[in-house]
Amino acid sequence: MSEPRRWRHDDGGASPEVRDLLAAGRAPRGMSPAERDRATRQAARIAAAPVGWFAWSSASKALAASLATVGLVVAARVVVPHTTAHRGVSRPAAAVRTSGRAPEAAPSSVSVPPVVTSAPTAATVASTPVRTAAPRTAPMPRPHRLPPTAPSSGSVPVLAPVSSGAVVAPAMAPRRDESLAAEAALLVRAQRSLESDPEASLGLLDTHAGFAHPRLAEERELLAVLALQRLGRAEAMRVRGEAMLARWPTGAAAQRVRRLLGPMPSP
């Protein structure tokens, strides 16, 4: 395997910015005597603990992971010499393989007497069957069923028969558009039907007469007089024309109706 390339060297392949950033970094702080002593005591307790206890504990996985981290730190600080090569950076020790068991303590100059504990192992706990008595539940009382009772005549609502002559309210009709544009469109349709179908034209004009507040009533009456003329209903044409002149005596529509009616009889 080839030697790894160092980014801090000129031939390491790193950019000048990266090399400057690495050169500006500071070496990690060494452990104080108190920290080294505390880490040594923790490593001794880890090495003395039985392996089966971690599997028996309900929190074995989380505890084993944290103890493995402590073992890595202790192995790196105690086994490997504190001072390293010319760069003053401490080299990490070989990684400690961790499994389901607790990490073994690295050999050091500090002798730790073994501690014997009487904690139960996982095999002992697993081989001892635990019998639990299922709680007995009292029998549920059978529900008391009431005898069916016939419904009284007063509790059942009786619908009154609907007579054949009753008037049923009609459904609400949709609101009609009575805008000025709707009026104009209706009168245009009536005007187009004058020549081909005067009767249909009168029907459209009657629809316009049902508007609540029509604004083209004078034009409607003129078209009605013309439709009655097309149908040959002279008497009805005269009655409607005179009513129009009584209401609108002036204007272009009034002059046209006067020409259609002819000379008016003197009173």
Tens digits of residue pLDDT in 63-101: 445 545 544 444 444 433 443 444 444 444 433 344 444
What does the alpha-carbon distance between residue 39 and residue 30 come to, in Å, rounded to a whole number? 13
Maximum Cα–Cα distance for the chain, whole Å? Answer: 147
Can you give the pLDDT at residue 228? Answer: 96
CA distance 8 to 18: 8
Confidence of residue 122 (pLDDT cuts 50, 70, 90): very low
Angle, helices 180-196/217-231, rounded to nearest 10 degrees: 10
Helix 180-196 / helix 198-209 crossing angle, nearest 10 deg: 160
pLDDT category at 36 given cuts 50, 70, 90 is confident
When pLDDT is averaged across residues 124-143 and rounded to a whole number, the result is: 54
Average pLDDT estimate for 28-50: 82
**Residue 188 identity:** V
Q: Which residues touch 114 (CB under 8 Å, ≥6 apart)?
A: 48
Give the Cβ contact number of residue 17 at 10 Å: 8
Distance between alpha carbon 131 and the CA centroid of its chain, in Å? 50
Placement of tokens 């192995």 in the chain: 75
pLDDT over 50 at 116, yes or no: no
Place of tokens 């790894």: 4
Structure tokens at 105: 């303590």
Contacts of 93 (CB under 8 A, 6+ apart): 72, 75, 76, 79, 80, 106
Lowest mean pLDDT among 15-29, 112-126, 253-267: 112-126
Count of alpha carbons within 13 Å of 154, Cβ hemisphere only?
0
pLDDT higher than 90, residue 217: yes
Residue 9 has pLDDT above 70, yes or no: no
Neighbours of 245 (CB within 10 A): 19
What confidence score (pLDDT) does residue 265 get?
A: 62
Average pLDDT, the chain: 69
Give residue 125's pLDDT: 41
CA atoms within 13 A on the CB side of 96: 21
Q: Which residue has the higher pLDDT, 6 or 103?
A: 6
- Residue 14's pLDDT is 73
Q: Which of 75, 89, 74, 69 is nearest to 29 (CA)?
A: 89
159 vs 16 pLDDT, higher one = 16
As a whole-number percent, the residues of the chain with pLDDT over 90 amount to 30
Question: What six digits make up the tokens of 68?
Answer: 């493995």
Give the pTM. 0.36
Q: Would you say residue 180 has pLDDT above 50? A: yes
User: So what's the pLDDT on residue 44?
Assistant: 86
